[in-house]
Amino acid sequence: MIETTDDRAFPPALAEVARVEFEYEEDGGVDFEPYDAFDSAEETTDWLRNWTGNHELDGAAYRVFGQDGTGGLAALWLARPGLPLAEQPVVFLGSEGERGVVAGNLSDFLWVLADGVGPLEIVEFGQYEGRPNAALAELAERHATTPRRTADEIVTEAQAQFPTFSEDIDALCR
């Protein structure tokens, strides 16, 4: 079991993302509704238990910070013990069981959003190209600690770093 802290201080970059209006249209856009704070530990535990059917779990390894229109959740996954929240991978767990790693850290996630792609589009549709968003690109330029790369490069790298994420989630399910 990974030791985690109960750090729920919202990173400044996510607070800024929460102020951005994401437009979703049938022919494009990003289906993402960012939160202005992490879900509570209790909410996260309740959600994870219901999502997996495993009522022995707690949600300590996740910091949920947004959702799509169907209720799928974007979260920081505390997979790197001892590192700050901003260095943890971003994952998406969809309302119908979809799941995947979206970015290796918060900085890379900002570049993904700047490319006009969100967590749902990546995990459910394998979409790595969208309509670039100038406001999110500026936000990423201010907060990112990683160099700008395409969403495709970022997602491919992150999924290679955590190749068993889906199988690990399967193992939690009952």
Instruction: Give the per-residue pLDDT at 6.
Output: 54
Instruction: Give the per-residue pLDDT at 4.
Output: 40
Question: How many domains, the chain?
Answer: 1
Instruction: Give the per-residue pLDDT at 27.
Output: 66
- Please state, in angstroms and rounded to a whole number, the distance separating the CA atoms of residues 31 and 109: 15
- Asked if residue 29 is part of any domain, the answer here is yes
The H-or-E segment that residue 51 falls in is: helix 41-52
- Please state, in angstroms and rounded to a whole number, the distance separating the CA atoms of residues 78 and 38: 13
Q: What value, to the nearest 5°, has the Cα angle with vertex 147 and ends 72 and 34? A: 25
Domain of residue 83 covers 12-160
- Asked if residue 121 is part of any domain, the answer here is yes
> DSSP readout, 111-155?
HHHHTT--HHHHHHH--------HHHHHHHHHH--S----HHHHH
Instruction: Give the per-residue pLDDT at 7.
Output: 76
Asked if 31 and 69 count as a contact pair (C-beta separation under 8 A), the reply is yes
In order along its 174 residues, the chain shows pLDDT tens digits of: 334 445 789 999 999 999 998 887 766 779 999 999 999 999 999 999 999 999 999 999 999 999 999 999 999 999 999 999 999 999 999 999 999 999 999 999 999 999 999 999 999 999 888 889 999 999 999 999 999 999 999 999 999 999 999 999 999 999
Instruction: Give the per-residue pLDDT at 24.
Output: 77
- Please state, in angstroms and rounded to a whole number, the distance separating the CA atoms of residues 174 and 127: 30
Positive or negative, the CA dihedral 146, 149, 151, 157 is negative
Instruction: Give the per-residue pLDDT at 129.
Output: 86
Residue 68 CA to its chain's centroid (Å)? 11
Please give the order of strands across the beta sheet that includes 90-93: 33-34, 62-67, 73-77, 90-93, 99-103
Any idea what DSSP says for residue 29? E
- Asked if residue 53 is part of any domain, the answer here is yes
- Asked if residue 123 is part of any domain, the answer here is yes
- Asked if residue 42 is part of any domain, the answer here is yes
- Asked if residue 38 is part of any domain, the answer here is yes
Instruction: Give the per-residue pLDDT at 3.
Output: 40
- Asked if residue 31 is part of any domain, the answer here is yes
- Please state, in angstroms and rounded to a whole number, the distance separating the CA atoms of residues 39 and 111: 23
- Please state, in angstroms and rounded to a whole number, the distance separating the CA atoms of residues 118 and 120: 6
